[in-house]
Structure 1
Amino acid sequence: MSTISNPQTKRESVATKPHHKGLWLSLKKPLWFALSTLAFVLIYFGLQDYMEYAPRVTLAITLAVIVLWVLEPIPFSMTAVLVLFLLPISGAVSTDLILSGFASPAIFLIVAGMMIASAVEQTSLGKRLAYQLLYWLGDKKGGVLAGIILIPQVMAFFIPAAAVRTAMLLPIVFSIASILGIKQGDVMGKKLMMGVVVSCGISGVAILPAAIGNVITVDLIHTYLHQHVTYVDWLILAFPMWLILIPVSWWVLHRCFPVKNEIPGGLKVKMKAMIGELGPVTREEKRLLAILVAVCLMWALEGIHGWPPVIPALIGAVLMAWPGIKIADWDKILDVKFAPLIMLGVTLSLGRALYETGVTNYLSRWMENDLTLYLFSNPALAVLTVAVLTQLIHKVTSNVSTAVIATVPVVVALSAHSPNAPALLLAFVAGLTCLFGFILVVETIPGVMVHGTGWVTQQDYFKPGFWLTLATTAVTYLMAVTWWSWLGYL
């Protein structure tokens, strides 16, 4: 018996799909706002008998905005602005306190980093470096991927922003794909794009100014523990881990995206031609390189001259546009993005508000039980616990800054009730682990930027992200029982 299809039914079926999709889109944002409001109500009224007003309303507003940051019905920076007036209006904290984060040197360090990155982009130095690395490595098995992974690691020393490093690397990767005839959807294309995500993610591990999460972590350590972490302190703690993660990342991506006949013929010749097109190294590039080296040296010598990282960064930015040196145009250098600065300032202020109102004290008392005391009683086990806990929190607080502000205060609070817990190291581990967001697209800015190219899907993140999460956790524990223990931090 034959079945005759009804064209009208088909048209109605097709028409209902966009209708349902449009209905969901129209309901989604109100639903996210409702969930945020529900989080506020549950905390504010549910803890009425357990907390005083100021810490209770501070915690309620914090969880409400975290829900908005995770679900993103409005831009991150707009949610951050809500904090600026909700906390003072509620009477939980003063206006001076909620604006104090914007007076932090961390804000001006990021401003100076953006200015330096803008100056670098106005020259060919970044491209020259990338092409040269690919010229050296391109004819070896896995060499192209190795070059893509190494480029941001070098950039991290003089471009203190993962988003800027990603933005500079993507055009280079597209150029390589064009040379090699790689098309969207090819396995090799997915491998190279995931190389951008992973390499830009780990490039901020050892260099303090190279990731906003690092800067926030150091500020929180100073606020809660009253200890100052210098550029060299961070470098010494994280450098061996950084060196291990570079080849580990290459190996994981190489295995997760197997490609036959990967060695591209003629890439070395083509890279040489592209280097030739850039011409000889210009005077501006030499001056720029000299200034960048000088800035890095001043960062490394912080223990001698006592200047925080922001001072050398600002000196470098001014020199790059100084008359007689003139590497870049000053007006273009000043064209920095305001949204990340708002986000950073608010997260710093929020961390101080949680501390000043006593929220962290309440959290530490609530979480103090036999299990947490046992886990934190063994320093190495405490490091592993914090690494796993941070990864779990990071999965529901997608933005790195949000993950840091949601994790570090809790870790410090738990450490306060465990006499054997190395509070400084645990706070450092929590902040560092927030950089390792590889499973979900939204966990890091490089992940979002690369996904936006259309060359990779969320599904492409799962397998390498899972193995890299395991690898970073294992390496963190390895550092705890070896390097950090030898340095006396454990």
Structure 2
Amino acid sequence: MEKENSLQTTFKKSLICVIIGLIIWFIPIPNGVNPQAWHLLAIFVATIAGFILQPLSIGAVSIIACTALVIFHVLKAGEALAGFSNTIIWLIVSAFMFAEGFVKTGLGNRIAYQLLAKFGSSSLRVAYVMSVADFMIAPFTPSNTARGGGIIFPIVNSICSAIGAAPNKDTNHRTAAFFMFSSYCAVITSACIFLTGASNNALAATLSNTLFGVTITWTDWFIACIVPGIILSVLTPLLLYKIINPELKYTPETKEMAKEKLTKMGAMSSAEKTLCLIFLSALFLWATGPIHGIDSAFIALLGLSAMLAAHIIDWNDVLNQKGAWDVLIWMGILVNMAAYLAKLGLMNYFAKTVGASLDGISWIITLIVLSVVYVYAHYGLASNSAHIMALFGTFASILIVAGAPALGILIIFGVLANSCSFLTHYGCGVTPIFFGANYISQGKWWKIGFLISTIHIIVWLLIGLPWMKLVGFF
């Protein structure tokens, strides 16, 4: 019975996606629009609907869409598969392999425990330590779920146990809630700061290039986001400390727990030391990209090659990184469709149409309004990537036509697709893990999440954009 209900639900959701595509396909094509572009738009929008409703996994939806492009003669076979040569996608795939190295060697845990053993003497310090630990790991873990769920959450959960907290106990319950929510915020804020901190960042960067001809490098993203990102990293734990008001102000148990964990881990292994060297070398090469001119993706592939050669990970580990290959499939297909929408002139048509209706309106006012809509639209979404595919290109086009600086706007909308994750307990893939610890009620999560998301909008607009102008981005 349960299987039948599941099949019925899948059929209904699939039917909705198909109907959406058919409606667009058969409605009259606007004057000045290429029929091929219009039919591509129909399949593209139907695919985005599939991302949101998820009758199947997004990888499966993408494969079906790619097949439809060729079957219905919208694109040629070679054109439909061209997206797999995109270097930013391969950057993210390689970064997933770095994440495997951090987990397999235990280096991610060691970094966090070392920081806790030295600085985890108070509840506020613990929050900052977890933020710093996540910040250090984030450049090489483009999956919030892998980083937050696989490294940060287990450590925070151990800290909660060390102070005697449990979901069904009143003992230090608010302290555990503070640790959980502040650590979750750290994961999302780190995702904002690094291009390789979340796969949806790479999607935004790729769309920026394919739709608007704007290249965003790893260094560009980092320079643009580091100052507002650090401000948010400092401000958020303080704010949560005031709101949640943890019972424990001092937590010597945390330091002792971290020391015990480090003792069990033993001395740093040769694999961890080698990974540290590879990690620092890759960061250096990314930061100096404008000097040596090596593409960021190939720096990441160089790091992956070094990890394989040093036996930090093996080829089976690479094959087992399902998240990486999933990203390669759906992002390669979706970004390619977006690229052809631009090549076939649909984005230009849209820009001219919208531009005519915005004549005389300040792009700053438009940015404020669209940023609010862009973020709070996530109440109806559970995927950052679906959020970007649905809204990023459209909203950015409106602002660029209105005269906004392209690079700054594209990075802002890329970042805000992470910031909206705070809103709900299903905001992105990692959110249910922290919410599922059962230290914060759904109502309280939504209230605090709304506040943090709002603060993100304010900081990214009032500090982020001026900072980007100061460093010469526009």
TM-score normalised over the length of structure 1: 0.86
What is the CA distance between 1:458 and its match in structure 2? 4.3
Query: Which is richer in helix?
Result: 2
Tell me: CA distance 1:262–1:374, structure 2 relative to 1, closer, same or farther (3 Å).
Answer: farther
2:50 is the counterpart of 1:41? no
Q: Out of 420, 426, 445, which is 2:409 matched to? A: 426
Task: State the match for 1:410 in structure 2.
Answer: 394
Task: State the match for 1:233 in structure 2.
Answer: 220
Task: State the match for 1:308 in structure 2.
Answer: 295
Q: How does 1:450-461 map to 2 (within 5 A)?
A: 450-451=434-435, 458-461=442-445
The answer as to whether partners of 2:122 and 2:249 remain within 8 angstroms in 1 is: no
The amino acid across from 1:351 in the alignment is A
Task: State the match for 2:40 in structure 1.
Answer: 58
The answer as to whether partners of 1:225 and 1:424 remain within 8 angstroms in 2 is: no
What is the CA distance between 1:386 and its match in structure 2? 4.2
Which consecutive unaligned segments of at least 5 residues does structure 2 have? none
Kindly report the root-mean-square deviation, in angstroms, between the aligned alpha carbons of the 2 structures. 2.7
Tell me: CA distance 1:187–1:73, structure 2 relative to 1, closer, same or farther (3 Å).
Answer: farther
The amino acid across from 1:117 in the alignment is A
The amino acid across from 2:159 in the alignment is I
Tell me: CA distance 1:480–1:381, structure 2 relative to 1, closer, same or farther (3 Å).
Answer: farther
What is the CA distance between 1:295 and its match in structure 2? 0.8
2:45 is the counterpart of 1:88? no
Task: State the match for 2:81 in structure 1.
Answer: 99
Tell me: CA distance 1:65–1:333, structure 2 relative to 1, closer, same or farther (3 Å).
Answer: closer
The amino acid across from 1:174 in the alignment is N
Runs (4+) of structure 1 exceeding 6 A deviation are: 21-26
Q: Deviations over 1:101-123 (max 9, x none)?
A: 21111232122112222122221
2:382 is the counterpart of 1:401? no
Identical aligned pairs, as a percentage? 22
Question: Take 2:347 and 2:314, find their aligned partners in 1: how far apart are those partners?
Answer: 46
2:424 is the counterpart of 1:440? yes
What is the CA distance between 1:299 and its match in structure 2? 0.7
The answer as to whether partners of 1:37 and 1:64 remain within 8 angstroms in 2 is: yes
Task: State the match for 2:312 in structure 1.
Answer: 327
Question: Take 1:429 and 1:313, find their aligned partners in 2: how far apart are those partners?
Answer: 24
Tell me: CA distance 1:402–1:98, structure 2 relative to 1, closer, same or farther (3 Å).
Answer: farther
The amino acid across from 1:336 in the alignment is Q
Which consecutive unaligned segments of at least 5 residues does structure 1 have? 1-18
The answer as to whether partners of 1:252 and 1:467 remain within 8 angstroms in 2 is: no
Q: Deviations over 1:88-145 (max 9, x none)?
A: 2222223222212211112321221122221222213211111122223322242222
* Count of residues paired in the alignment: 465
The answer as to whether partners of 1:139 and 1:265 remain within 8 angstroms in 2 is: yes
Task: State the match for 1:478 in structure 2.
Answer: 462
Tell me: CA distance 1:274–1:392, structure 2 relative to 1, closer, same or farther (3 Å).
Answer: closer
Q: Deviations over 1:206-253 (max 9, x none)?
A: 222222122122222222333332222221111101111112321343
Tell me: CA distance 1:182–1:318, structure 2 relative to 1, closer, same or farther (3 Å).
Answer: same
Question: Take 1:136 and 1:413, find their aligned partners in 2: how far apart are those partners?
Answer: 48
Q: Out of 267, 270, 273, which is 2:257 matched to? A: 270
Tell me: CA distance 1:483–1:390, structure 2 relative to 1, closer, same or farther (3 Å).
Answer: same
Question: Take 2:20 and 2:408, find their aligned partners in 1: how far apart are those partners?
Answer: 31
Task: State the match for 1:123 in structure 2.
Answer: 105
Task: State the match for 1:206 in structure 2.
Answer: 193
Question: Take 1:80 and 1:66, find their aligned partners in 2: how far apart are those partners?
Answer: 9
2:180 is the counterpart of 1:193? yes
Q: Deviations over 1:430-474 (max 9, x none)?
A: 111111121123432222443456666643431121011110110
Question: Take 1:469 and 1:114, find their aligned partners in 2: how far apart are those partners?
Answer: 27
The amino acid across from 1:430 in the alignment is F
Question: Take 1:221 and 1:301, find their aligned partners in 2: how far apart are those partners?
Answer: 22
Q: Deviations over 1:283-310 (max 9, x none)?
A: 3222221111011101111101111111
Q: How does 1:279-318 map to 2 (within 5 A)?
A: 279-318=266-305
The answer as to whether partners of 1:101 and 1:348 remain within 8 angstroms in 2 is: yes
Tell me: CA distance 1:79–1:449, structure 2 relative to 1, closer, same or farther (3 Å).
Answer: farther
The answer as to whether partners of 1:213 and 1:432 remain within 8 angstroms in 2 is: no
The answer as to whether partners of 1:411 and 1:427 remain within 8 angstroms in 2 is: no
Task: State the match for 2:203 in structure 1.
Answer: 216
2:339 is the counterpart of 1:352? yes
Q: Which moved more, 1:232-241 or 1:68-77?
A: 68-77
Task: State the match for 1:7 in structure 2.
Answer: none
